[in-house]
Amino acid sequence: MFLVRPQKRRKRNEMKLVGAIQISNNSFFVCKNRNGVLSLRTGKEEKLQKAIVQRMIELNPSIKRMLEDYKIKPTIDTKTLKELAGGHMNETCRVAVGIYSILSENLKKNIKEETIKEASMLHDLGKVLIPSKILNKPAKLNPKEREIMNIHSTLGYELLKTQKINEETLDLIKYHHQNLIHSGYPALNCDHHPSDIGVQIISTADKYSALREARVYRRKLSRIESLLVLYKEVREGKILPEIFDAIVEYARRFDK
């Protein structure tokens, strides 16, 4: 559950967002009309989705700085948010929870299922600020575009840092493109290390669900093709063999 602090000023005749609450997978926005009457609205409403992301940006000046550094206009792409929340992030959550349930107790003893659930549900939130011409480019990204695309995990972390979300979940969101040999992004901070097993669960679930979805630049891969891509990463030392075994078992049992 996360809350957004009230805004100070509001115009007449306007329904104002005063907070947000997340229950299971559904977002509800707490709104106040000009007479001070509070109401709960569904998170599916585009105007409110924009308002909540806008509020997250206002609460953390480093987001503005990042957008300026990369010359990104701070526009909020709610179509992307809707697609991500209803599709890819939801599916990644399903796969991540599946991997978690198959892993041995010893391997997952330091990470809670709730953390895995929350991080996978929110892992790509930062993409809401990535220009859609980069996000939906039907061809290979050039180096500059790739650089911009790769900040989505840090942007997601910065957006959610202002919310009541625990550090471990935030770490997993920030490092969901890291791997076991630490050649992913963003670079790891030497003083602070996220849970390797947590990152492995989220990142492997993310890759598998992405490979199983069609993209503008490629078709949807089959179950076997997707597992082969992941196996290559096991051989490169990027994915833990136990995580790979768990995803093979997940695919056999649940991905028909």
Give the binding site for Fe ion (CB under 5 A): 124, 206
- Closest CB to Fe ion among residues 27, 153: 153
- Closest CB to Fe ion among residues 77, 124: 124
Smallest gap from Cβ 41 to Fe ion, in A, equals: 27
- Closest CB to Fe ion among residues 168, 206: 206
Going from the C-alpha of 1 to that of each of 6, 48, 50, 54, 163, the distances in angstroms are: 16, 17, 19, 18, 9
What the block records as the tokens of 39 is 């109401």
**Three state DSSP letters for 201-252:** HHHHHHHHHHHCCCECCECCCCHHHHHHHHHHHHHCCCCCHHHHHHHHHHHH
Smallest gap from Cβ 60 to Fe ion, in A, equals: 19
Smallest gap from Cβ 209 to Fe ion, in A, equals: 7
DSSP 34-53: TT--EEEEETT-HHHHHHHH
- Closest CB to Fe ion among residues 103, 211: 211
Smallest gap from Cβ 52 to Fe ion, in A, equals: 20
- Closest CB to Fe ion among residues 118, 124: 124
Going from the C-alpha of 24 to that of each of 78, 114, 118, the distances in angstroms are: 20, 11, 9
Smallest gap from Cβ 84 to Fe ion, in A, equals: 8
